[in-house]
Chain A
Amino acid sequence: MPDQQNASSDLSRRSFLGVGASALGGMLLAGCGGGGDTTAGGGNPTKAPSGGGKTISILDDNTNKIFKQSVIDAFTKKTGIKVARYEQANFNDLHDRLATAFRAQDSTFDVVMTWAAWSAEFGQAGWLEPLPRSEVPADVLPAALDAVSWNGKVYGLPKFASAQTMFYNKTLFRQAGLDPERPPASWDEFASAAAKLTSGDVFGYACDMGNTDGAYQNFIRTLLLNGGSFYGPDDKVTFNSPEGVDALSRLVGLLRTQKVMNPSSLQITNSSDLNTLFAGGQVGIVFNWPFQYAEAIKSGSKLDKRTVGNALIPGIKVRSASIDGSEGFAMNHFAKNKSAALEWLKFVTTPEVQRRMVAEEGWLPVTKSLLEDREVETDLPVVATYREESRFAIKRYGSPWYSKVVDDLSANITKAMLGQMSPKQALDGSAQNATDIISQYQSA
C-alpha cells in the first residue's frame, strides 16, 4: 500500500512537473514567437512592410505644436509617406531616452530631435546617420546648420533657428523714468537700467541659471559679450581668460553687489519659467529665445505688442553677441526607413513649414531667403533683431565632451554666484578639468 501510495504520489508529481514544464516551454516559445512578430525589423511594430519605406516614426521634444496640428498631414499629403508615430518628450528627459535607445540599437524612431550638443555627442558615437552634402538646402543659415553638424559632418536639418536677444518691459521702463524707445546699448547702460527697474518684488534682470545648461549658457553669453571665447585653436580651453573672469565677475555683481538680478535666477531651470516671470511683469529685462515674444503677447500676459521691447543684447567689449539655440531633426543610424526619414527632414525646411514656425510659434526661419522676407518680419519683429544680431558672434560650442565639461563648469559658476568661490578660482578649476577631459578625447 505505501508503495502504491508513493507510486501514485510520484505519478502526480511527475504529471505536475510535466505539465509545468510544458507550460513553461509553451510560454517561452510564445514569448519568442511574439517577439519575432512584433519586433521584426529591429523592434518597430509600426513599420511598413519591408520594401515599402513609406512609413516613419518621429521622436521630438515638446517645443513645437505645429507638427502634430497639421504639418504631419501636409507631409503625408505631399509625399505619400505616413507618419505612423509622432511622440513628444520633455527636452530635459530626451537626452537620456535617446542615449538609452541608441545603445540598444533601437530602430523604433527613424527621426529624432537634435541640437548642437547632441549632434556632436551622438554623431561622434556613430548613432546619427550623416547626410550627403547634396541633400542640404543651399540657403540654410550656417548657425542653424551648425546645430545639426559636428566635425565636418551634417547629421540632420534644422527645424528652426534660434538665438537669444534682449526683451524688455516698456511699461516698467516708463515707470522707472527710462526711455522705452531707447533700450540699453552697453553693459553699463544695462546695469544702470536694471538698478532703476529694481523695486520691491520687481527686479531689473532675471535669468535661468538653475540647472547645468542654464548656468553655462548665461556665462558663455557674457563671455562672448566681453569679447572672449570658450575654446581657442585645437580646442584649447580659453574660458578662464581675463575676459572670462571679468564676465563672470559682472554676473556675480548683478546678483550680489548691485542686487538687480532676481535671486530666483539660481532656481529657474528653463526659459519658459523665465518667460512666465517676464509676462507677469515681475522683471524688467531678460535675454531669452525668440519664442519669448509670442509668449509675452499672449492673452493672460501683462504685456502686449506695444509694451514688449526687443533689441540687441548689450555688450561689454563688443556691441553685442548671443548664444545659439537652433534645433533640428536627425536620422537615427539604426533606422530602417532612412529615405522616408530624409524626406521629412527636407520637408521641415520648406517655406511652407517655416512660415508657420515663425508666425505660430515665434521661432526663427532656417533659411536666408525667409530671414530676409519682410512678411516674416511682420509676423515676428524678433527676426529684424536676429538679422542684426547675426553680425556678431553667436555660438553654443557643442562637442562630444559638452556634458562632462559643462557639468563641472556650471557647478563652479553657481558656487561663484553664491559667493563660495571667486570667479577666477571657479574658472581656473573648471578649465583644468575641461583640459583633462578634452585630452582624453584627443588621445582616444
Chain B
Amino acid sequence: MTVAVEHPANRRGARLGAERRFTVALIAPAVIAIFALFGYPLGYAAWLSLHRADETLGPARPYVGLRNYTRLAEDAQFHDALARTAYFSVLTVVLGVAFALGIALLLHQPFRGRTVARVLLLVPWAVPPVVNGIMWHYIYDPNWGVLNAVVRGAGLIQGNVAWLGSQNRALNALVFSELWKLLPFLTLLFLAGLQGIPENLYRAARVDGANVWSRFLHITLPGLRAPIMFALIVQTMWSLKVFDTIYVLTQGGPARGTTTINYFGYLQTFKFLNDGGGAAVAIMVMLLVLIATVVYVALFNAPWRRLRRARAL
C-alpha cells in the first residue's frame, strides 16, 4: 500500500497560488475600470490620429496612416508651440522647484507666526485655476490693473503697459501666474520631506564642523531626493499639459505667443474641429510626458544604484 504524502513545499506553493489568484481577483475590477476609462479613450484617440476626422469636411473618416503626424513634423506652428512649451516648462519647473525649496527651508525654521505663514502659503493653492486666471487677468489689465498702478507708482514706467499685448511679455506673465499657483504644493511637498530628515544628522554634522552649505548639500538635498524627483515629474507633466491659465488669461495669443502644444491640440480639436490632427497632438503630448518621466527616474536612480552597488562590493 502506498501512502501519498504531500510535500510541505507543494502545500506552500498551492497556498501562494491561491493567494495570488485572490490578489488578482481583488485587483481585476480596478484594472478593468481603469482600462475602460483610460484605455478606451486612449485607443480611440490613437485611432482618430490615423484618420482624417473633420466633420466640416464631411462625415467620412478615411484612413490616412501617419499623415497627421507627418503634418505636425512639417508644421512651423507646431514647432513654435514646442519651443514655447519647452521655455514655459523649464522656467516653471526650475524656478518652481528652486523657489519652493527656498520657501520650505524658511518655513522649516522655528519663528513666531510660522503657522500663520504656512496657512497663508496655501491660499494660492486653494484658489481654483480658472479663478486664478481671472485674478491675474485683472492684475495685468492695461488700463486699470494693479500691476501698472504699482509699477507706475514706483516710477519704473511712464505710461501703462499692455502686459499681455506682445508675445514674450505675455508668455513671461503666464509663467509668473503659473508659479504663483504651483508654489504652495511644491513647498508643502518639500516641507513634509524636511520634517522626515532626522535632526540628529544635523547635530552630528555640526559636531563634525560642517557649515550650513555643507549640511544643506550633504544632508538636506539627499534627504529631499524623493520629493524633488516627485516634484520634477509632476511639475513637468503639469507644465507640458498647461491649459486653464492660458485659456483664461491669453487664449493662446497674442499672435499665438502663448500657444503651447497642449493648447495647440485644443485648438485643433475644439476650434478647428480637426479631431484627427488634435488626437495626433494629444498622443505627442502623452509621449513627451512619458519620456520626461522616464528620463527623470533614470537620472535620479542612476547615482543611487551606483551607490548601492559600491556598498555591496
Contacts and interface: CB of A to CB of B under 8 A. Distances in A.
B38 interface: no
Interface residues of B, number: 35
B256 interface: yes
Nearest to A100: B270
A17 interface: yes
Interface stretch (B54-62, B102-110, B226-234, B297-305): B54-62
A93 to B, nearest CB: 9
Contact of A17 (B25, B59, B167, B256): B25
Contacts of B255: 410-412, 414-415, 418, 420
B165 interface: yes
B142 A2 contact: no
Contact of B251 (A211, A266, A268, A400): A211
B143 A418 contact: no
Interface stretch (B156-164, B188-196, B214-222): B156-164
Contacts of A277: 143
A264 B271 contact: no
A210 B164 contact: yes
B272 A444 contact: no
A405 to B, nearest CB: 10
Given A96-B270, A404-B272, A266 B55 contact: no
A317 interface: no
A298 B22 CA distance: 72
A249 interface: no
Given A125-B273, A267-B142, A403-B271, A418 B59 contact: no
Interface in A164-209: 201
B223 interface: no
Contacts of A124: 56
B124 interface: no
A263 interface: yes
A212 interface: yes
A418 B166 contact: yes
Nearest to B253: A211
A404 to B, nearest CB: 5
A10 B15 CA distance: 10
Contact of A266 (B160, B165, B275): B165
State the main secondary structure of chain B at its contact with A: loop
A409 to B, nearest CB: 11
A268 B164 CA distance: 9
A201 to B, nearest CB: 7
B253 A264 contact: no
Given A121-B56, A277-B143, A444-B58, A95 B272 contact: no
Q: How large is the interface on A (under 10, 10 to 19, 20 to 34, 35 or more residues)?
A: 35 or more
Contacts of B29: 20, 24
A267 B273 contact: no
A201 B160 contact: yes
Contact of A264 (B59, B143, B270): B143
B7 interface: no
B271 A95 contact: yes
Nearest to B251: A211
Contact of A407 (B164, B166, B267, B273): B267
Contacts of A24: 29
Contacts of B141: 267
Interface string B246-271: 00000101111000000000010011
Contacts of A211: 251, 253
Interface of B: 11, 15, 18, 22, 25, 29, 55-59, 140-143, 159-167, 251, 253-256, 267, 270-273, 275
Interface of A: 2, 6, 10, 13, 17, 20, 24, 92, 95-96, 99-100, 103, 121, 124-127, 201, 210-212, 262-264, 266-269, 277, 280, 282, 400-401, 403-404, 407, 410-412, 414-415, 418, 420, 440-441, 444
Given A2-B11, A210-B165, 14 more contacts: A17-B25, A100-B270, A125-B56, A125-B273, A201-B159, A262-B143, A263-B160, A264-B143, A266-B166, A280-B143, A403-B272, A412-B255, A414-B255, A440-B57
The 10 residue pairs across chains A and B that have the minimum distance between CB atoms: A264-B142, A266-B165, A414-B255, A125-B55, A96-B270, A267-B162, A267-B165, A444-B57, A400-B56, A411-B255
